[in-house]
Amino acid sequence: MELLIPAGNLENLKVAIDYGADAVYIGGEFFSLRAKAKNFTKEDMKAGIEYAHSRGKKVYVTANILGHNDDLEAARSYFNELQEIGPDALIISDPGIFTIAKEVWPEVEIHISTQANNTNYATYLFWWKLGASRVVTARELSLEEIRKIRENIPEQMEIETFVHGAMCMSYSGRCLLSNFFTGKDANRGECTHSCRWKYSVVEEKRPGEYMPVYENERGTYIFNSKDLCMIEYIPDLIKAGIDSFKIEGRMKTALYVATVARTYRKAIDDYLKSEETFKENLEWYKSEIGKCTYREFTTGFFFGKPDSDTQIYDSNTYVKNYIYIGTVNEVDKEGRAIFNQKNRFFVGDNIEVMKKNGENISLKVESIENDKDEKMESAPHPLQLLKVTFDKQVVEEGDILRVYNPERQ
C-alpha cells in the first residue's frame, strides 16, 4: 500500500520522506502542471532522488502537460536528462509525450496522469498494452467503479487515486477558465485558480446589473469546490483495490506535507494492523488532518455524484487552524532550536512540536535570538535564521513547529 505525497521543492521532499511517504511526486522546470510552484532544478532533483533512494523510497517526475508541436523536441531533450538522473517513474497524460518518453527511455516506468481522463477499465487496458504500469483514476469515479476496474485489469497493473487535497471544478482537471480570463493555460501548468474567484451573472438586456448566482448578499464562489478528504475511509479505499493513495498539494507548505503524510501513514498502518486499532484512533486522524490548511472537506465522487454541499458558495479562503513556524535545522549546545522562521510568533507563545512518530508536544517559547545572538520579543520577518529556547529540551532536528492562532494571518 503506497502513500504518495507531493513536493514542490527539495525541503518538502525531505519532509515528506521523513514523515511517512513511500513515494514522492515532483515537477521539474519543464512539462509540469504546477508552473507556479518552485519546482526542481536538475541539481535539486538529483539530490532529492538520492535522498529518497538512500531511505528506500521512490520519486516520480510529472511531465503531464498537454503538449503542443513546439513542446515535442524539448520533451525529447528533457527525457534524456531525466534518464541520467534516474527517477523511478514518469507521470504523463499526453499520448505524444508518452510515445517520445518510450522512444528516448524504453525501460522507464510510466504512470498515466488523471489528466488523461481515465474512467473505465478499457482505458486502463489500452495504456497497459502500450507499456504503462500504472494509471491514475479520474477524480469523477466512485469506489464501486474503481472496484470494477480492479476486477478487469491485470493483477500486476497498479491503480493510483487521489484521496486528499484540492478538487478541480473541471472534468479531470482539464479547465479552461484560467485560459479564458487570463490567457494562462491550466493544461500547460499555468493555472491562475480562476475557479476560486467570486462570480455574479449579468442578463443581456440589463448591462451593469450584477446578480448573485446564489442567494447570498456576498455573491457566490460557485465553482469553488471543497477539498477532498478520505482519512475516515481508508478501509473502503483498500478494499476497492487501490494500490497508491495520492495526496494533492505540490504548492503547499512543509507543514501541510508533514501533516498529511504523518496522518495518512498512521491511518494506513493502523488499519493494516487491525480494524479495531483504526477505529480507536479515528478521532485523532480527523483532529490532526484539520490542523493543516484546507477549504472544508468533502468525499468527492467516491460515494456517488456530489451535490450542492460539495461547493463553497460564500468564501474562497482557506481554514488555517495552525500556522507553520518552521522546521528545526539543528539543536545547538545550549539546547536552542535553530531554524528559518516561516511566520511570526512571540516570546511566551505556546508552540506545538510535530514529531515524526506521531507525537505532539506543547512547549512555551522562553527566548528568541537572531543569528547574531541578539534577543527579540517576536520574529516579524519571514526567513530569518532564529535560535529559540523552549521550556523543555525535547526538540530534535527535523521536527515541525506550528502555533494555533489563525487570527495572526
Query: What secondary structure letter does DSSP report for 233?
Result: G
* Residues belonging to the chain: 409
Q: End-to-end CA distance of the chain, in Å?
A: 37
Domain boundary among 266, 298, 330: 298
332 and 270 share a domain?
no
Residue 314 is assigned to a structural domain of this protein: no
Residue 153 is assigned to a structural domain of this protein: yes
DSSP-derived 3-state class of residue 228: strand
CATH assignment at residue 124: 3.20.20.70
Residue 331 is assigned to a structural domain of this protein: yes
Select from 291, 213, 294 the least CA-distant residue to 258: 291
87 and 148 share a domain?
yes
CATH assignment at residue 381: 2.40.30.10
Any long-range contacts for 83-90 (C-beta under 8 Å, 24+ apart)?
83/108, 85/42, 85/45, 85/46, 85/49, 86/49, 87/45, 87/49, 87/59, 87/60, 87/61, 88/23, 88/58, 88/59, 88/60, 89/58, 89/60, 89/61, 89/133, 89/134, 90/60, 90/61, 90/62, 90/63
55 and 78 share a domain?
yes
- Mean pLDDT estimate for the chain: 86
Domain boundary among 234, 263, 298: 298
Domain boundary among 267, 298, 329: 298
94 and 240 share a domain?
yes
9 and 90 share a domain?
yes
188 and 74 share a domain?
no
198 and 121 share a domain?
no
Residue 255 is assigned to a structural domain of this protein: yes
Residues spanned by the domain of 350: 321-404
For 12, the enclosing helix (H) or strand (E) is helix 10-18
Residue 307 is assigned to a structural domain of this protein: no
Count of the separate structural domains present in the chain? 3
280 and 400 share a domain?
no
pLDDT in tens, the chain (409 residues): 899 999 999 999 999 999 999 999 999 877 765 555 557 999 999 999 999 999 999 999 999 888 899 999 999 999 999 999 999 999 999 999 999 999 999 999 999 999 899 999 999 999 999 999 999 999 889 999 999 999 999 999 999 999 998 876 665 555 666 666 677 666 555 676 666 666 666 777 777 776 655 544 444 555 667 889 999 999 999 999 999 999 998 888 899 999 999 999 999 999 999 999 999 999 999 999 988 765 678 888 899 876 555 444 344 454 567 889 999 999 999 999 999 999 889 999 999 999 999 999 999 999 999 999 999 999 887 789 999 999 999 999 999 999 986 454 4
331 and 384 share a domain?
yes
Residue 264 is assigned to a structural domain of this protein: yes
115 and 261 share a domain?
yes
159 and 283 share a domain?
yes
φ, ψ of residue 81 in degrees (nearest 5): -65, -45
163 and 187 share a domain?
no
Angle separating helix axes 254-273 and 10-18, nearest 10 degrees:
20
Residue 312 is assigned to a structural domain of this protein: no
Exposed/middle/buried for 388, CB within 10 Å: 0-12, 13-18, 19+? buried
Residue 305 is assigned to a structural domain of this protein: no
